[in-house]
Amino acid sequence: MMEAKGSAHATPIIQMEDVAIGAMRDPETVVLGEIHWNVNAGDYWVIGGLQGSGKSDFVLATAGLMAPLRGRYLFLGEEMPIFDEARLPIRLRLGLVFETGQLFNHLTVRQNVALPLRYHRNLTMEQAQSEVQPVLEALELAPWADSTPGALGRNWQKRVGLARALMLKPELLIVDNPLIGLDLRHTNWWLGFLEELSRGHNIFEKRSLTLVVTTADLRPWQGRAPQFAILQDKRMHILGSWSQVEGAGQQAARELLAL
């Protein structure tokens, strides 16, 4: 497992010790078990899984929206999930981008993106504007800022979900299946933009963002991410680098690379 630069003695962002994850639709059914996984500051993980492998359940549990069935999950040294108000500032250091965007269709793009600032920092729309506008511009959303999500195609709706997740400047960003349903232009944009976030984007004052991304196809991520794992047979298999992905013996790894 690769260590983040300068983070050898820092508290890991994520620590999972013998974690079991239940199904969202049937919380008592184990979809993934015996997870032992550390994510350090600055890491960039891509987690591959075929349909039915538990990717969405894994995302919800890692984002702290579902409690593990067993085991221990620490986020920045704090027990997850975090629901109590006193520890909310810790929870807000994590951003989540849903596969479908999960936007509010009665609000404009600008209003959707501003929601975290208005809700968690009690800003008016006018006060939030100076922070919202640079993010809209960085994600090429400014021309649609005053449109509602329904007027945008899926390619752009997914970017709105990403913009909203970035507004509180999280330290960890979890992105669920970002490339699914995108055309080639938007696929390349996502791959490039996530890589920029990992290295340190201007909207984060060049601070490196820790990334965990899920996917059903590992091929686009070659040369993009340094750390890979796959979900198969109710287990999380840590593979490491791309060369280790190519040499993996698991059937799921071969299928995730299939042409």
Q: How confident is the model at residue 251 (pLDDT cuts 50, 70, 90)?
A: low
pLDDT tens figures, 41-68: 999 999 999 888 999 999 999 999 999 9
Give the CA distances from residue 13 to residues 74, 80, 81, 188, in Å, rounded to whole numbers and listed in that order: 8, 12, 14, 28
pLDDT tens figures, 95-151: 999 987 789 999 999 999 999 999 999 999 999 999 999 999 999 999 999 999 999
Q: Which of 16-20, 22-26, 27-31 has the highest mean pLDDT?
A: 16-20
CB atoms within 10 A of CB 202: 9
pLDDT tens figures, 202-246: 999 899 999 999 999 999 999 999 999 999 999 999 998 888 888
pLDDT tens figures, 151-205: 999 899 999 999 999 999 999 999 999 999 999 999 999 999 999 999 999 999 8
With 0-12 / 13-18 / 19 or more C-beta atoms within 10 angstroms meaning exposed / middle / buried, residue 56 is middle
The overall average pLDDT reported for the chain is 90
Q: What does pTM read for this prediction?
A: 0.91
